[in-house]
Chain A
Amino acid sequence: MKQTSKHIIKVSNLSIGYTSKKNVSTIASNLNINLSSGNMVCLLGKNGIGKSTLLRTLTKVQPALSGEIFINNIKLEVLANNELAKIVSLVLTERLPDSSLTVFELVALGRQPFTNWIGYLTNEDMEIIQSAFEKTNTKHLMNSKCYELSDGQLQKVLIARALAQNTPIIVLDEPTAHLDLHHTINTFSLLKNLASEFNKTIIISTHEANLAMQLADELWLMSPSKFISGKTDDLIAENELNQLFDSKLISFNKTLKQFTITDSKLF
């Protein structure tokens, strides 16, 4: 089912959640998204609000309850998994299982949707892998074993793997969860650069709200009452950010463009 639109991701009237034999538990409904390519999006919301469920639904790990999702103008339901793998790549928050894969082998795995049955790397594959290493500045790690890397290095290498998959969309689930401030900012600016310079569409679920305010082109805000998506500046102007957290505790300072503690006397 083809539908022409300039939006790389188009979501209308989406409901997400889980179905079991007995009942349907809806986590969020009436989600609408129109996202153009080359944007960096930050998905913000409290723990347990359904950020991961949304990302899992958008990447076809779990089915939508209702509504429609178009990726690259193709309806998600009709996209075969190996076709989707050429459009969307993932950086997950889960730990990698132990293995003695080298960094090169890990990044090269990103070519799997494109290689032949035995996984032979052509010259073109090698060039794409090479450029993934260059973009993430991780070439010096190539011959290390993955278990030798620090958290910060590993995160960059995982992003390199997603780049090797060479997809227009990269989805990252809390990519900076284990990182210090230095590596967090480093990772965000790398992702921002990938979006603006290489026209990648980057979707990040994150708890780094203040950083998102400064770097994200668009925000997807999830709160118990509603889901809003839009340009960061528009959402700030429309005072949408105050609803994200409990206002007794945290409020949004419009001039600073930062979340601050509402009542300092609380402490």
Chain B
Amino acid sequence: MISPIKSYSNTFIILILVLVFIFFINLSLGSVYIPLKQLFFTLINGEVDKESWRSIILSYRLPKAITAIIVGSGLSISGLLMQTLFRNPLAGPFVLGISSGASLGVAVLILGASFLGANITSYAFNNFGLAIAASLGAFLVLSAVMLAALKVRNTMSILIIGLMFGSLTAAVISILAYFSSASQLQQYMFWSFGSLGNLSWKEIIALLIVFLIGISFVIFIIKPLNSLLLGENYAKSMGVNVKRTRNFVLIATSLLTGVITAFSGPIAFIGLAVPHLTKLLFNTSNHRILLPAVAVCGAIIMLICDSIAQLPTSEYTLPINAITSLFGAPIIIWLLVRKRKIYY
């Protein structure tokens, strides 16, 4: 008997070609025009007409493009995991309170600065300082949610607990914001806009390592995730350790979204919208196909959003978070208006 499971290798080859294409487009676009030929010479370490082009590409555009790829695929994979675990099409990587935790950490650092004294704050406002504050906040809120999750057997309750923690932290941030100065608020706002461009190579390597650790957790739960499509009881009856699978999903998601949010801010909508788009494109629920597909689609869409955000040839860069939402919200609305049922 020949397996009737569709092979998607053609779709994958096309998607990867698209990814490579968008990657180079992304590198060539920006406030300074750099010819494609010069771009290639830079990448293969050849002769370049202007040395400034080389440094623009190597120390700004290339790290940004790589960050976009990691952020896009990491958030999308987390979104898919959450949607399968909670069997809810509205679940995304942030339902566990990760983004609100990170926001809280950053808010305490920036908005609470007046309580801490100027010496600490001026030192802390660099990138790593914000990343550490965000990670700590995300880790704290997430641990609280996870502790609650240990007590609760029902998966849906975990979803609601995550949302409640989100409300709590939002409230704390509001109070902090109320007592803050205008310049502090502005600084906090800038972080919450999200940004892909501020990472040094060192930070990218840190991001990449945690990303790979997160992904390695995912690989081991592809099979149980498929049986969870039939519900927890069927999964159990097929010998799946549901609790372990759930924990792996929670760990992978918190590693992926935690580190991404720490370095690039709370980037909205990618984690929610990309899995839906991918499911429409591939029309399957099989995680062996969906997981790599979602990773590639997420990377492509993040690169596109970033290309739009830097408003080619102009000096301005729009906040990435605005672009992803501008892009994501209409898609979700369009999906619902078309009454195409979303299968998850």
Which residues on A are within 8 Å of B, measured CB to CB? 59, 61, 81-86, 88-90, 92, 94, 96-102, 104-106, 108-110, 112-113, 115, 117-119, 121, 126-127, 129-130, 142-143, 147, 165
A222 to B326, CA, bound (A): 60
A94 to B226, CA, bound (A): 18
Give the Cβ gap from B16 to chain A, nearest Cβ, in Å.
21
Q: Which of A81, A90, A100 has the most CB of B within 10 A?
A: A100
A81 to B233, CA, bound (A): 12
Which residues of chain B are within 8 angstroms of A86 by Cβ–Cβ distance? 239
Q: Is B120 an interface position by the 8 A CB rule?
A: no
A99 touches B285 (CB 8 A): yes
* Given known A94-B231, A96-B230, A100-B279, contact A165–B238 (CB-CB < 8 A): yes
B1 touches A99 (CB 8 A): no
> Which of B4, B226, B283 is A109 in contact with, Cβ under 8 Å?
B226
Give the Cβ gap from B218 to chain A, nearest Cβ, in Å.
12
B223 touches A99 (CB 8 A): no
* Given known A61-B236, A89-B237, A143-B4, contact A109–B220 (CB-CB < 8 A): no
A99 touches B229 (CB 8 A): yes
Between-chain CB contacts (< 8 Å), 28 pairs:
A61-B233, A81-B239, A81-B241, A82-B241, A83-B239, A85-B237, A86-B239, A88-B237, A90-B233, A92-B231, A96-B230, A99-B343, A100-B285, A101-B285, A101-B286, A104-B5, A105-B226, A106-B230, A109-B238, A112-B226, A113-B238, A115-B223, A118-B223, A119-B226, A121-B3, A129-B1, A143-B4, A165-B238
A97 touches B229 (CB 8 A): yes
A219 to B4, CA, bound (A): 40
* Given known A118-B288, A119-B222, A121-B3, contact A101–B238 (CB-CB < 8 A): no
Which residues of chain A are within 8 angstroms of B5 by Cβ–Cβ distance? 102, 104-105, 108
Binary contact readout B206-225 vs A (1 if CB under 8 angstroms, 0 otherwise): 00000000000000101100
B3 touches A126 (CB 8 A): yes
Which residues of chain A are within 8 angstroms of B341 by Cβ–Cβ distance? 98
Give the Cβ gap from B145 to chain A, nearest Cβ, in Å.
23
Give the Cβ gap from A8 to chain B, nearest Cβ, in Å.
17
A142 to B3, CA, bound (A): 10
Count of B interface residues, CB-CB < 8 Å: 30
Which residues of chain B are within 8 angstroms of A129 by Cβ–Cβ distance? 1
B237 touches A130 (CB 8 A): no
B230 touches A109 (CB 8 A): yes
Give the Cβ gap from B223 to chain A, nearest Cβ, in Å.
4
A89 to B239, CA, bound (A): 10
A59 touches B285 (CB 8 A): no
Give the Cβ gap from B342 to chain A, nearest Cβ, in Å.
8
Which residues of chain A are within 8 angstroms of B236 by Cβ–Cβ distance? 61, 81
Chain A: CB-nearest residue to B241: A81
Q: Which of A81, A97, A130 has the most CB of B within 10 A?
A: A97
Chain B: CB-nearest residue to A81: B239
A127 to B284, CA, bound (A): 23
A98 touches B237 (CB 8 A): no
Give the Cβ gap from A63 to chain B, nearest Cβ, in Å.
14
Which residues of chain A are within 8 angstroms of B284 by Cβ–Cβ distance? 100, 102
Which residues of chain B are within 8 angstroms of A119 by Cβ–Cβ distance? 222-223, 226, 288
A64 to B264, CA, bound (A): 51
Q: Which of B237, B288, B341 has the most CB of A within 10 A?
A: B237
Q: Is B240 an interface position by the 8 A CB rule?
A: yes
Which residues of chain B are within 8 angstroms of A117 by Cβ–Cβ distance? 220, 223
A130 to B2, CA, bound (A): 10
Q: Is B234 an interface position by the 8 A CB rule?
A: yes
Q: Is B327 an interface position by the 8 A CB rule?
A: no
Chain B: CB-nearest residue to A103: B4
A118 to B343, CA, bound (A): 23
